[in-house]
Amino acid sequence: MRGRLVLLSAALLSLTGALCGVWALAALGLALAALLATAWLAFFPSAVLIWRRHVELSWTVRGQDEGHGLVAGRAFELHLLLRNRAPLPLGRVRIRVIASSAIDVPGEGSLECDLGAQREVTLVGEGRARAAGFFCLHGAVVEVGDRLGIAALEAYFPSPLPLKVLPRSTARLAPPPLRAAGTGDERAGPHALRLRGLGGELRELREHAPGDPFKQIAWKATARTGRLMVRDLDRETLVTHYLLVDLAGTMRDGAAGRTRLDHSVELACAYARAALDAGDRVGLITFDGRIHAHLRPGDGPVQRIRIIERLMESLTAVDEDATDLTDGELVATVARYLRHQESLQALLSRAPAIDDPAWAHIATGPRGELYDLRALALSVGRALDAERRAGGRRSLARRSAEAPEAAEAADPEMARLRQFCRLRGIELPVRRSPEAGLRARGLALALEHAARGRGTQRITLLSDLEGLEDGLPKVARSVALARRRGHRLMCVAPAAPAPPPAEGTLALTREILSWEQRRRELSARRRVETLGIAVIPVGPSETIADAVARMGGRRRRA
- Are 387 and 424 within 8 A, CB to CB? no
> What percent of the chain shows pLDDT beyond 70?
81
Among 58-67, 70-79, 116-125, 268-277, the least confident range = 58-67
Task: From 436, 490, 397, 458, select the one nearest 248 (Cα to Cα).
Answer: 436
Residue 395 has pLDDT above 60, yes or no: no
- Are 140 and 121 within 8 A, CB to CB? no
Q: Which tens digits make up the pLDDT trace of 104-126?
A: 988 877 888 888 888 899 999 99
The one-letter code for the residue type at 316 is T
216: pLDDT confidence band, cut at 50, 70 and 90? confident
- Strands 456-462 vs 488-494: parallel, antiparallel or unpaired: parallel
| Residue 480 burial by Cβ neighbours in a 10 Å radius (0-12, 13-18, 19+) | middle
Residue 556 has pLDDT above 50, yes or no: no
- Give residue 188's pLDDT: 45
In this structure, the answer to whether residues 438 and 398 fall within a common structural domain is no
In this structure, the answer to whether residues 494 and 481 fall within a common structural domain is yes
Residue 484 has pLDDT above 60, yes or no: yes
- Are 282 and 245 within 8 A, CB to CB? no
* Calpha distance 59→253 (Å, rounded): 33
Last residue of a domain, one of 424, 456, 478: 424
Query: Taking residues 179-195, what's their average pLDDT?
Result: 47
- Give residue 43's pLDDT: 78
Q: Count of domains in the chain?
A: 5
* Calpha distance 403→445 (Å, rounded): 11
Task: From 123, 132, 82, select the one nearest 103 (Cα to Cα).
Answer: 132
Q: What angle in degrees, to the nearest 10, is found between the helix axes of 373-389 and 412-424?
A: 50
3-class DSSP state for residue 50?
A: helix
- Are 409 and 367 within 8 A, CB to CB? no
Classify residue 377: in a domain, yes or no: yes
* Calpha distance 333→428 (Å, rounded): 9
| Residue 325 burial by Cβ neighbours in a 10 Å radius (0-12, 13-18, 19+) | middle
In this structure, the answer to whether residues 373 and 307 fall within a common structural domain is no
In this structure, the answer to whether residues 523 and 461 fall within a common structural domain is yes
Among 16-25, 113-122, 263-272, 549-558, the least confident range = 549-558
Classify residue 184: in a domain, yes or no: no
The one-letter code for the residue type at 307 is I
- Give residue 218's pLDDT: 86
- Are 127 and 103 within 8 A, CB to CB? yes
219: pLDDT confidence band, cut at 50, 70 and 90? confident
* Calpha distance 205→207 (Å, rounded): 7
- Are 253 and 259 within 8 A, CB to CB? yes
- Give residue 310's pLDDT: 92
Q: What angle in degrees, to the nearest 10, is found between the helix axes of 373-389 and 327-342?
A: 70
336: pLDDT confidence band, cut at 50, 70 and 90? very high
Among 264-278, 387-401, 416-430, the least confident range = 387-401
> What percent of the chain shows pLDDT beyond 90?
15
Query: Taking residues 131-141, what's their average pLDDT?
Result: 91
- Strands 179-181 vs 191-195: parallel, antiparallel or unpaired: parallel
In this structure, the answer to whether residues 420 and 452 fall within a common structural domain is no
36: Cβ contacts below 8 Å, ≥ 6 apart: 3, 6, 7, 10, 150
In this structure, the answer to whether residues 31 and 66 fall within a common structural domain is no
Quick one: CA torsion of 291, 296, 297, 301, rounded to 10 degrees? Answer: -100
DSSP type of residue 347 = B
396: pLDDT confidence band, cut at 50, 70 and 90? very low
Last residue of a domain, one of 112, 132, 166: 166
479: Cβ contacts below 8 Å, ≥ 6 apart: 447, 489, 531, 532, 533
- Give residue 103's pLDDT: 92
Classify residue 460: in a domain, yes or no: yes
Chain CA centroid to CA 278, Å: 28
Classify residue 181: in a domain, yes or no: no
- Give residue 244's pLDDT: 94
Task: From 500, 544, 548, 491, select the one nearest 521 (Cα to Cα).
Answer: 491
Residue 183 has pLDDT above 50, yes or no: no
Residue 46 has pLDDT above 80, yes or no: no
Q: What angle in degrees, to the nearest 10, is found between the helix axes of 412-424 and 327-342?
A: 50
Task: From 8, 56, 51, select the one nearest 32 (Cα to Cα).
Answer: 8
Query: Taking residues 137-144, what's their average pLDDT?
Result: 90
- Give residue 454's pLDDT: 66
- Give residue 398's pLDDT: 44
Q: What is the largest CA-CA distance in the chain?
A: 132
Classify residue 527: in a domain, yes or no: yes
Query: Taking residues 14-38, what's their average pLDDT?
Result: 83
* Calpha distance 165→104 (Å, rounded): 13
In this structure, the answer to whether residues 252 and 290 fall within a common structural domain is yes
- The range of the structural domain enclosing residue 522 comes to 240-317+432-551
In this structure, the answer to whether residues 145 and 218 fall within a common structural domain is no
Classify residue 179: in a domain, yes or no: no
Q: Classify each residue of 127-163 as buried b or exposed e, where b means 16 or more C-beta atoms within 10 Å of its C-beta.
A: bbbbbbbbbbbbbbebebbbeeebbbeeeebebebeb
* Calpha distance 252→278 (Å, rounded): 31
Of residues 448 and 433, the one with the higher pLDDT is: 448
- Give residue 171's pLDDT: 59
How many Cα atoms occupy the beta-carbon half-sphere of 282 within 13 Å?
A: 29
Q: Which tens digits make up the pLDDT trace of 512-536?
A: 667 777 787 788 888 888 888 888 8
- Are 460 and 492 within 8 A, CB to CB? yes
In this structure, the answer to whether residues 196 and 252 fall within a common structural domain is no
* Calpha distance 94→111 (Å, rounded): 6
- Give residue 186's pLDDT: 46
How many Cα atoms occupy the beta-carbon half-sphere of 65 within 13 Å?
A: 10
In this structure, the answer to whether residues 374 and 442 fall within a common structural domain is no
Query: Taking residues 67-86, what's their average pLDDT?
Result: 85
* Calpha distance 427→422 (Å, rounded): 8
Cα separation values, 277 from 108, 151, 201, 453, 459, Å: 44, 61, 25, 21, 18
In this structure, the answer to whether residues 443 and 414 fall within a common structural domain is no
Of residues 501 and 443, the one with the higher pLDDT is: 443
456: pLDDT confidence band, cut at 50, 70 and 90? low
Classify residue 514: in a domain, yes or no: yes
Give kind and range of the element (H or E) at residue 80: strand 75-84
- Give residue 387's pLDDT: 78
355: Cβ contacts below 8 Å, ≥ 6 apart: none
Query: Taking residues 135-158, what's their average pLDDT?
Result: 84
499: pLDDT confidence band, cut at 50, 70 and 90? low
Q: Which tens digits make up the pLDDT trace of 226-252?
A: 888 888 776 556 788 999 999 988 888
Give kind and range of the element (H or E) at residue 509: helix 504-529
Classify residue 180: in a domain, yes or no: no
- Give residue 68's pLDDT: 60
What mean pLDDT, rounded, does the chain reach? 80
Read off the CATH number of the domain in which 526 is found.
3.40.50.410
Residue 285 has pLDDT above 90, yes or no: yes
Phi, psi at residue 115, to the nearest 5°? -110, 110
In this structure, the answer to whether residues 522 and 489 fall within a common structural domain is yes
- Give residue 5's pLDDT: 82
- Give residue 553's pLDDT: 55
Query: Taking residues 379-386, what's their average pLDDT?
Result: 87
